Amino acid sequence: MNNIESNIIRYNELKIDLLNISKCIETCEECDKGFYQDIAIQYSKRHREMKKFIEKTYNVKICECCSYEKDKFSFDKQMK
């Protein structure tokens, strides 16, 4: 596997982890929300850094163009 592929895989794994952490924030006890929010902030920062790294290193643009409603529908459908 070449470098760009492995970096995109890592980028997507970070995104998946961030989505899972977001789900924990929604479902956890109130006393645990701060803990998961702190984790989400760190993952979000790393995700942003990874995106910038990939775009700069490989001269590509990672598009975040999916609409919220489409993503929400897809996510809700997966959760059922």
Query: What tokens does 62 get?
Result: 């990672």
Per-residue pLDDT of the chain (80 residues), as tens digits, is 689 999 999 999 999 999 999 999 999 999 999 999 999 999 999 999 999 999 999 999 988 765 445 555 555 555 54
Query: What tokens does 56 get?
Result: 């700069």
**Per-domain residue ranges of the chain:** 3-79
